[in-house]
Structure 1
């Protein structure tokens, strides 16, 4: 659309989404000389307008300074604002988080495309500039890389243009409006527009100029658009390069375009060209044998496209990365370069806890390295096109990308979880066709040259219908080298061909298998799975196990990469990471913004341990003799890796070595290891094997681990006395003092006191150190995780909360023998008169205290969250070291990535910084743990019959349960020790109703028991 005057009514007119905007084009760079192009540095034909702008904020349109763009309007007294940046994160307006509901729900009674006029904030920006030297007689354009959600532009008092679509560029021609000297640029940004109905993503609702803004000029003859399409022959060996160029400017008769292809080492592979007869140039060239691009081996060529005039003068050079790869469907299975692909993916929002979606290059570099380091090979840009730099990094570092257009209308068809598409958009509504299609075209035209992008996505959670179907048809017709994704066909099968693959969200493993066993017509991917909210990712193995079982199961994308939480200060001025509702935002979806495997401050969560292991392309299966290596890579052998092996006895290393082992892709090999297991002393051993990098890469340092496998075995003891765990040289007389209320037991330096009144152990002094600050009590409740809340655990299992608060000792009995004193306490619980718990303490002659916990349940009770015994000790015991599965927290359904070893931590650090305090810090497979003060004094807990689970925390389950933020937790007064026979898994199929898988639940109707020992260090 063309216009010379701005009209505020465009905001609510679905037919107007751009005015005077230039056509979308590729995101290439261009330079004057080959030297500049090879350096690929700052473009001299670009002028950065990022930085400080003058700013005025208005809560609604009728409060804005309407004529602020005029030449004589003074912005004196206006505030300063940083560009790029969100208005709401710089002190203006309402910071708000909502998920599926529209942000005005319950505040305004609206149906699309109507807008909330009373709550449509307006940001007025002013920036002055002088043209760089040498630009005065050249065309000048402006590019806004991202503005949310609609904006008007004026230059020197004259209307330039209007744009919507927050996540793709809007360019305008400034040439007719420029003047000598100072130029005044004015931009008016509205938070709400018709585009807001299409941008109902699960994120914070911001507005403003949040991506780069720059001016640019072009040479006399300029390549406006580049399209590079590569192809491979049937053997995936020889490549073809097709080059389509759109030129503009004054390329005189006899002008020529020349293209030089160089390999990664800078050697020229081929030079080819064409004369310029009009503004369209098409060149197709056979390249011959080529190196292939893949996420495993992201080999990039460099193409230099040069424009010469008739006199042979170089006018422009365009450097373009080129990757030769072929992505296709073969026999209903997706293939990359002829090999079946499995996406080990993650959904990624652009986010920074201080800058919101206005992320930096440093953020992106950290992200791409972290993703690669943890064996992920794919990213879905949820749910909008990202900054261009992100795709360049994916090309360079090696990640497969689903590029998703900026479309989500979740709140128009799903209400309170129910599918109710009575007023869904875009649906089949023709009036929404153009605005939606424009978003598709803008994405494709900008991003089309990135080899990392394998799939175009029609958006997210916008139900179905004809409009989205037509988008998919556009993708397929314009770009047959890629496939098309859209999950919403699941809800609307009328246009099933919209998506080339079946893509569902949060389907259970059994549901996926049901689909795959029904002879489907399409392969399957989980575009979102493993909802990583809080303490989650349990049961992920049930999905990754499908990869080898079903060829048509081709992986999935975890939801999601990073927590969307924002720094805020509490009432005492201390910063914390805040979530929805913390800013007074209503409506809000509260902590649902915290689903990341990375915390918002870019610290990796404990959940990543499981992700890295289960996403390994190379799998190691050691045993007592050696290791079986299965290289599931499609293209990369193991020549860049070194095999490191070690043998540990009860956590202590016995031997270590390295080997050079080259296992080709898609093959396996068994390697013998010189472990000497035939002559080992008795004890528990772990064979550890790992592949580490021989040299540093772009994404990791030398020695970083890529793959890992462990095998645990027990060598029989020769001396049977040693197996008992008691030192035969430390036998002391057991002295018992039975009082009216208490029973004291003394053995050497161990002093124990049992209370008849309280029915428990009340004091345990080991070499003078008191270990019991508050007595042990049976525990059946864990602080609910986000997933627990989603399954209404408080409602369904809440009786165990009360049972844990109020156990009643109904009986005690004691027995003394020459070498031990045993006392047993029997408890009744208020949950049922038929439930019985017995806790027995046995003080032995070596000074150790053996604890046995036995539970006897009954039918009809809800499952147990945990079967444990918990007590408080002094906070001075603030260090914990354990021989257990680790090093990060792990649970019954999230321990595949954990390894047996000696791991240590500060007790304060065992509490994971999830947005909402919840159960965290558990370890499975605990053989022993030492709790010590800073002087090294303390005590030891040992598993006696079988490994136990252990949580050592500054807080009780009840303190965590009743805090909504970390700052609500009390000052630390204790170290809380919780020894468990079992704790239920954490789950992760979703966070709104998916239960923990049956094998990781704890039935309450049987008998359970566990044992452990407390002894002096």
Structure 2
């Protein structure tokens, strides 16, 4: 559409989404010469307009300053705002987070295509600039990302209008630009018809949040470039075709192009040339013995293009990276370079805790290094095209991409979880077809030259219909080299042809198996799974185990990569991570933005430990004398990495070897000898053999020595049974208390309290609050999502109150030990019993045994444990347990047996909302000491380890806090020892319970035991 004047009605007209905007084109770089210095520098034909702009904010359309764009309107007194950046992140308007509903739900009753009138903030931007002297030809402006609709004027003249927040909008400034000062004016609206198509699960921002720059072009310019780097049927010969299209300019007649393909060392491996006809040219050539591109080995060639005029003079130089690869469907299985691919993926929003979606190059580099270092090989750009740099990094580092167009209309068809598409957009509505296809075209045309992109996606959660189906038809027609993805057809199979693969969200493993065993016509992926909200990612192994069981199961993408929380300050000026509702935003979806395996400040969560292990491409299975190596890579031999082996005895390293060589071809397995010295495994104790593959040399994404695969084998060498500690004790049974005393210790039990009341070693008292049975854990986000508290809240009550029914005392005839037992009853069921027995030995150690006697008719138990408090002075821990990060019975595959030390304050994980955190399974020993090394040691048998949690807070304090700043200053170190805690789950966070094998039936009897003893500096 062409126009010379702006029209406010375009905002609510779905057929108007671009006015005077240039057609989309490839994102290639171009230069005036082939000089190495110029090719490595930023494009000289660009001029950056980022930085400070003058700015005026209006809460709605009626209150905006209408004529600000005119030449004689003085904006010098306006505020300053930074570009790129969101309006709402710079002190204006309302920060708001919502998930599926539209942000105006309940405030404005509009239906599409109408847009809210009262709540449509407007940002007016002005930038004065001087035309660069180097720009002697035409001048264009590129807005890389503006949310959600905007008008542009230059020197008082209307330039153009555009929607689609996440792809470039470019305009020709040549008719309006002048030498000297130029006034660029941009008016940004948060609501437009485009906003109906941008209902993603994210913070609702607006403004110019990506780069803005001017650019010019040479007298002959390649407007669009399409590099097809394919492979022949043998996957050994590269078939390169480069399609070029010139910008319509005078001087194009007789223009030609010379192509040189150079390898990574700069050596020319093939060359060709041609002459343009009607502004178009295709150059083709073959490359024998080609090095292929994959995430495992992302080899890139460079396509050097010299654009020449009729006289043969160089006019424009282009360098475009190319990766030869072939992605196709073979026998209903997606294959890369002829091999079945498995996506070990994650969904990634662009996000920064302080900048929102206006992320930096440093953010992207940190992200891709973290993704690669933790064995992920794929990213879905949820749910919009990303900045160009991200695709370049994925090409270079090796990441498979699902590139997703900017389309989500979730709130138009799903209401509170129910499928109700009565007013769904775009559906089959022809007035939305142009806008949707424009979004598809803008993405494909910009991104098509990136080998990392294997799949185009038609957007996210927009139901189904002809409009989206036509986007798939466009992708297929324009780019047959890639497949097309769309999950929404799951809800309406009339449009099943929209997606080349079966894609589902949050399907349970059983549902996936049912599909795979139904003779399906399409391979399966989970475009979203393992909803990583809070303390989650339990049971992930049930999905990854399908990879080798079903060829048509081809992986999935965890939701999601990073918490979307915003750094702000509380009323006392202390920073904290804020979520929906913290900015008085209504409506809101509160903390549902916290679903990352990475925190918003780019620190890795403990969930990553499990992800990294379950996503590793090489499985290592050690035994006492050998190592089974299963290489599930598609293309690389394990000899790319070094083998390191460690042997631990009772958590202490007794042997290590590094730099071993293991050669197993891709897709193969072998058993190799470990050849451990015989004397290493002779002594009695518990052994752990750790085998790892590590990088031999630095890579782009990690340094030499970084672990890429891990395996463990644990076994015991039995020792003779040790005798009870020698010595005598003295027992005093008073009316209320029972005292057991010996050399240097006094242990007291209280009949009145009904528990162990005092542990005194020397002059130190250790018990700040007596041990009591514990059945409740602070609910995780997943617990809350499936109403766990509603069903099991009686265990909360049982943890707060109990009745001591009986106290038994017995003293051994030998006089070297005494036993005190407490039996508890609970109001929630007459048959429920817990008996905790304390046996004090002559050396002052205390064996603690808890027997849980279950009862029928009660809900599953969250945890069966014993909790007590020490003074907060005991703030250091050393563990011999599964670790190093927190783990749970359904999230312990990535944990390993070893010794770790942590301060108590560092044991809880700061999930966005306080919840159960910090647990360790397989606990053999934990020492809890003060800064001088005095404290307690808890020991359990390696054959019957316990679970343990040490925290500054009780489960009830965590349960009742919505933010970490609401928790009290630590006064205690809270120790909880459990025989078993239920898993954390993670199939989804709104109804999926923990898998049955990781639950604790209330009628199941359970016993656990551990020993308490003193620790001082001499034994530390």
Task: Bin the TM-score by the shorter chain.
Answer: over 0.9
Deviation per residue, 1:121-177 (Å, 9 max, x gap): 000000011111132x31000000000000000000000000000000000000000
CA contact under 8 A between 1:305 and 1:317: conserved in structure 2?
Answer: yes
| Post-superposition offset of 1:76 | 2.5
CA contact under 8 A between 1:142 and 1:213: conserved in structure 2?
Answer: yes
CA contact under 8 A between 1:37 and 1:317: conserved in structure 2?
Answer: no
| Post-superposition offset of 1:748 | 1.4
Equivalent positions of 1:214-613 (< 5 A) are 214-248=213-247, 249-613=249-613
Mapped to 1, the partners of 2:539 and 2:515 lie a distance apart of 20
| Post-superposition offset of 1:663 | 1.5
CA contact under 8 A between 1:647 and 1:675: conserved in structure 2?
Answer: no
The RMSD of aligned alpha carbons is 1.0
Mapped to 2, the partners of 1:37 and 1:8 lie a distance apart of 47
Q: Does 1:775 align with 2:770?
A: yes
Deviation per residue, 1:359-381 (Å, 9 max, x gap): 00000000000000000000000
Q: Does 1:81 align with 2:81?
A: yes
Mapped to 2, the partners of 1:301 and 1:70 lie a distance apart of 49
| Post-superposition offset of 1:833 | 1.2
TM-score (norm 1): 0.98
SS, match of residue 951 in structure 1: strand
Stretch of structure 1 that moved more, 248-257 or 421-430: 248-257
Deviation per residue, 1:215-244 (Å, 9 max, x gap): 000000001110011221111000111111
SS, match of residue 34 in structure 1: coil
Mapped to 1, the partners of 2:177 and 2:602 lie a distance apart of 43
Q: Which runs of 4+ in 1 moved over 6 A?
A: none
Deviation per residue, 1:891-914 (Å, 9 max, x gap): 000000000000111100111010
CA contact under 8 A between 2:646 and 2:689: conserved in structure 1?
Answer: yes
Q: Does 1:766 align with 2:761?
A: yes
| Post-superposition offset of 1:677 | 4.9
Q: Which 5+ residue runs of structure 2 have no aligned equivalent?
A: 1016-1020
Partner of 1:166: 165
CA contact under 8 A between 2:31 and 2:39: conserved in structure 1?
Answer: no
- Say which of 781, 787, 799 aligns to 1:804: 799
Deviation per residue, 1:300-355 (Å, 9 max, x gap): 00111111122222111111000000000000000000000000000000000100
SS, match of residue 691 in structure 1: strand
Partner of 1:914: 911
Partner of 1:72: 72
CA contact under 8 A between 2:252 and 2:279: conserved in structure 1?
Answer: no
TM-score (norm 2): 0.98
Partner of 1:938: 935
SS, match of residue 885 in structure 2: coil
Partner of 1:967: 965
Partner of 2:1018: none
CA contact under 8 A between 2:131 and 2:178: conserved in structure 1?
Answer: no
- Say which of 692, 710, 713 aligns to 2:712: 710
CA contact under 8 A between 1:31 and 1:37: conserved in structure 2?
Answer: no
Partner of 2:789: 794
Deviation per residue, 1:897-934 (Å, 9 max, x gap): 00000011110011101010000000000000001111
Partner of 1:106: 106
Change in Cα spacing, 1:610 to 1:252, as seen in structure 2 (3 Å) is closer
SS, match of residue 657 in structure 1: strand
Equivalent positions of 1:146-165 (< 5 A) are 146-165=145-164
Deviation per residue, 1:842-867 (Å, 9 max, x gap): 10122100101111111110000000
Mapped to 2, the partners of 1:112 and 1:783 lie a distance apart of 42
Change in Cα spacing, 1:405 to 1:253, as seen in structure 2 (3 Å) is closer
SS, match of residue 708 in structure 2: strand
Mapped to 1, the partners of 2:768 and 2:52 lie a distance apart of 57
Deviation per residue, 1:7-33 (Å, 9 max, x gap): 000000000000000000001111111
Mapped to 1, the partners of 2:22 and 2:267 lie a distance apart of 37
Equivalent positions of 1:744-763 (< 5 A) are 744-763=739-758
Mapped to 2, the partners of 1:275 and 1:200 lie a distance apart of 46
Mapped to 1, the partners of 2:250 and 2:628 lie a distance apart of 65
Mapped to 1, the partners of 2:76 and 2:148 lie a distance apart of 27
Mapped to 1, the partners of 2:422 and 2:570 lie a distance apart of 43
CA contact under 8 A between 2:231 and 2:238: conserved in structure 1?
Answer: yes
Mapped to 2, the partners of 1:377 and 1:429 lie a distance apart of 37
CA contact under 8 A between 1:640 and 1:695: conserved in structure 2?
Answer: no
CA contact under 8 A between 2:20 and 2:171: conserved in structure 1?
Answer: yes
SS, match of residue 958 in structure 1: helix
SS, match of residue 547 in structure 1: coil
Partner of 1:661: 662
| Post-superposition offset of 1:981 | 0.2
Partner of 1:741: 736
Partner of 2:860: 863
Deviation per residue, 1:527-546 (Å, 9 max, x gap): 00000000000000000000
CA contact under 8 A between 2:271 and 2:285: conserved in structure 1?
Answer: no
CA contact under 8 A between 2:52 and 2:80: conserved in structure 1?
Answer: yes
CA contact under 8 A between 1:260 and 1:305: conserved in structure 2?
Answer: yes
CA contact under 8 A between 1:733 and 1:845: conserved in structure 2?
Answer: yes
Partner of 1:33: 33
Partner of 1:189: 188
Mapped to 2, the partners of 1:878 and 1:600 lie a distance apart of 27
Partner of 1:1013: 1011
Deviation per residue, 1:855-881 (Å, 9 max, x gap): 111111000000000000011110111
| Post-superposition offset of 1:252 | 4.8
| Post-superposition offset of 1:674 | 2.2
CA contact under 8 A between 1:925 and 1:948: conserved in structure 2?
Answer: yes
Equivalent positions of 1:843-862 (< 5 A) are 843-862=840-859
CA contact under 8 A between 2:728 and 2:817: conserved in structure 1?
Answer: no
SS, match of residue 288 in structure 2: strand
Deviation per residue, 1:488-514 (Å, 9 max, x gap): 110010011110000000000000000
Partner of 2:977: 979
